[in-house]
Structures are given as structure tokens and as C-alpha cells.
Amino acid sequence: MIATAGRRVGLLWALDALAAQELPAGTTYEVNVVHGPERTPVLEAAREHPLVRSGIAAIIASEGLVASQKRNIAWRLGRAPLIAFTDDDCRPRPGWLAAFLAAHAEHPQGLLQGGAAIDPDQHEIAMRAPRPRLQRFAPPTAWAELCSMAFPRGLLEAVDGLDEGYGSVGEDTDLAWRMRERGAPWVAVPDAVVDHAVETPGLRGWLRTSTRFGESTRLKRRHPELRGHYPLGVFWVPNHAWLLVAAAGAGWALARRDVRPAALTLPYVAWHVTRYGRSWRGVARGMTELPGDVLVDGARVAGFVVWSARERTVLL
């Protein structure tokens, strides 16, 4: 099941990858791609894809505006007893579906989490582009990223699918934790891997989307057990904590005209300048991006402050 806005050419690559799935003899599958009211060249090309022309895949128009709505439409239109989700910027590896089917046979009531890796065709972009947005993880993770997950249909029906009240983030994590709270086992399927595209939004793109992650505060309020997965229980990521320490140190140094408190900025600086490694190239790359990182982290923390007040719980 794929939710899409029809803007990414990666949708066509995802269909290519799904057409190349290696399945046991006699196994059939279907692919539902649901988009909103938009019409785009990518969607028109997708309708001519061999997987669609063969009847295995369907490109479905809907009134859905957010991913949770489109995903709910997709799985409810499906007929299979096991529902797998990926995204339009992912290429499932040939054994992806087979790995989920094998895990489902062993854990028929489990929610199944696969993994994600950087698309091998985009490693150079990941290594050289400024501020690349990467998605890579090995299961299990607490966030249940829907780019590589599968669920029994009965389990999706039992929790009434995804909560469509979520906007741009959090609906996948919320879905998995509601299932877990019903007693469903959370099963890691490390052989179910998707190759995830590398995004290069640039500084403007990072700033434009910085506040959307504040919606994660709702997850913490609804699922208290998630608190243990946040740094110190109140920070979304460690660098947000270090940013506040750095801001306090810088403010103290200016107020007292004393350089020593400025040492409190060093953990934040070290976090960012070493994220590409400790080679001189990696450190130089991190240093050039540091001013923009301060802006992005500051904007995100501000967004979390607003959401924390709205949800009456603290996540920064």
C-alpha cells in the first residue's frame, strides 16, 4: 500500500521494485497506490506502468489530503489478509514481501517491522549534498516507520486503521503503539528492507518543514511508554537539549562579560561538526553547515514549545 501526492518520480521506481518481488510459487499480491485530487505527470506515467496494466496494481484517486487518509483508503480497498506499507520514495528489495510473509506465518497476530537503507544509487548524494535527509534503520524501532511495515488485516480492523487526525507526522507510530497496547507482538523482520531515497531539501526546505515535527508531542501524551525513547524523556533529539544548554551558556557569557560560560556551547558544536565523521573533510563539512543547523534546531524547538502548550505535555 502506497500513499502519494504524485510528485515524486520515485513512485515509478517503487512500482518497478514491487514488480520484481520474489515470492513463493502460487503466491499472489496486489498493490494499491492512493493519491489525492491532484493530477500530475508522474501519476499519468504510473497508470501506464506494466504492473498497473497487468491488473496487479491500481492507481486510485481519492479526496484524501494527508497520508493517513490515503493509507486507510488503500488498505480498506485491499483484499489480502496481510497488508504491507511502503512509500513512494522507497524501493523494496526483491525479498521484501517474502520476508513479511514468512514472519506472518510464524507470528500471525504480530505487527511486522522491516528496515530501511540508503538507496545504493544515491550514496554519493548522501555523502556530498548539504544537509541530506536520510531514512535508515534496522528493526525494531519505537517509531514504526510505515515505509517498511506489515500488519494482519484483522489487527488493522481491530484498531480502525490509522488515526486521520494526525497531519504530517506521527500516524505510523500511533498506529503501532495502539496495536501494542492491545497485546499484539511487535516483530522485527530484518530481511524486509527498502532502499530509501535521499532527500536534499536545502536550508530553506529544512526551515519550511521544521515546525511540523512538533506534532510528535501528541504521541508522547497518548502513549506514555514512549517517554523512555526520548532523550531525558523530554527532548525529541539530543541536539535540542544541547542547543538549550548552548543558548544558556552564550547568554550567561554575554550577561557577565565572561568567556568561560561560553564553554557550554561546545557539546552542541561537537554534536553537529562530527555528524559526518571525525575526518577533516567531515568536520569541515559540519562546520560550514553549523550556522544553518542553529536556525533549523531553533525553529524546531520553537515549534515543539507551541505543540507542548497545546498538548499539555513537554517535548522539546
Q: How far apart are the first and last CA of the chain?
A: 32
pLDDT at 212: 86
CATH class of 2-200: alpha beta
pLDDT of the residue at 259: 84
8 Å CB contact between 140 and 188: yes
pLDDT for 155 equals 97
Nearest to 172 by CA among 189, 190, 154, 151: 151
Contact 92/14 with Cβ under 8 angstroms? yes
Ranges of the chain whose pLDDT falls below 50: none
pLDDT at site 191: 97
Predicted confidence at residue 110, as pLDDT, reads 96
pLDDT at 253: 85
The amino acid sitting at 301 is: V
* Amino acid 38: pLDDT: 85
pLDDT value for 130:
86
Which part of the chain has CATH 3.90.550.10? 2-200
